Structure 1
């Protein structure tokens, strides 16, 4: 599969997984990455997600199998893993205030 097609597939998979962006969608994402506690607003979910370092490809794969994705202790470990595996999310597909934006980390 070519790089452009892979990019389209991962973007579509995340859109399908996340849903319409309701508070419940954000709360599910927080639970799926292993955040616990009551996060009563989208802004609190977004803030909490900024502390989590996961690869988006791994997140979607883990959710399919009913598992939690690998969480990295810091951005450097996530960057190293992402560079090694080539499992990038296309930066140009990140919506300004969406969930992917909250999970994205500067890789290059």
Structure 2
């Protein structure tokens, strides 16, 4: 039975083979609300850079930008959960572990969560990997995504996140998988 990008059970990678699974998600719907922006959903689009371009194109004040950033991050949480999974299925956790390069693959949700929580990864890298997903037939075929940087420690992640302004605020993370990836950076 074929899977879809919005189905968390969908497999991902390798990017050079398989059927692209991209379908517009919650982030794309957020951008499409601004018709004058002329947004076209794409699996290659950096959602954070697109938000920055949207803010400039709309001429938002700093206050309005903060308000809209909250709405945007809520959309990111929804899309992250739709694409990665809610955290209630072992397959979701195992797929994420493989995508970020954890080997050997843990055999339980608890083991997966513990291994993933040790990683220092920017959330937006993971979302972009899932937006570029292609269908594969089994979890064994999932490969680590080269576009996801695994930082050696929180200090490295913090420097990268600050440099690129790729923050994700804790209060917008509702999905359990997403919460496990958050780190205190300020």
- TM-score normalized by structure 1? 0.85
| Mapped partners of 1:38, 1:58: distance in 2 | 20
Report the 3-state secondary structure (helix = DSSP H, G, I; strand = E; otherwise coil) of the residue aligned with 1:87. Answer: coil
Residue pair 2:84, 2:130 contacting (<8 A) in 1 also:
no
User: Would you tell me which structure has more helix in proportion to its own residues?
Assistant: 1
Matched, 1:71 2:159: no
Of residues 14-23 and 28-37 in structure 1, the stretch that sits farther from structure 2 once superposed is 14-23
Of residues 65-74 and 45-54 in structure 1, the stretch that sits farther from structure 2 once superposed is 65-74
| Mapped partners of 1:53, 1:104: distance in 2 | 9
- Using the TM superposition, give the Cα deviation of residue 88 of structure 1 relative to its aligned residue in structure 2, in angstroms: 1.6
Aligned to 1:41: 108
Query: Greater RCO between the two (CA within 8 Å, min separation 6)?
Result: 2
Matched, 1:103 2:184: no
| Mapped partners of 1:76, 1:20: distance in 2 | 28
**Cα displacement string for residues 26-59 of structure 1 (whole angstroms, at most 9, x for unaligned residues):** 1111111111113111110111012211100111
RMSD: 1.8
The structure with more radius of gyration: 2
Matched, 1:88 2:167: yes
Structure 1: unaligned runs, 5 residues or longer: none
Residue pair 2:74, 2:173 contacting (<8 A) in 1 also:
no
| Mapped partners of 1:42, 1:48: distance in 2 | 10
Structure 2: unaligned runs, 5 residues or longer: 1-53, 55-67, 134-144
Residue pair 1:56, 1:89 contacting (<8 A) in 2 also:
yes
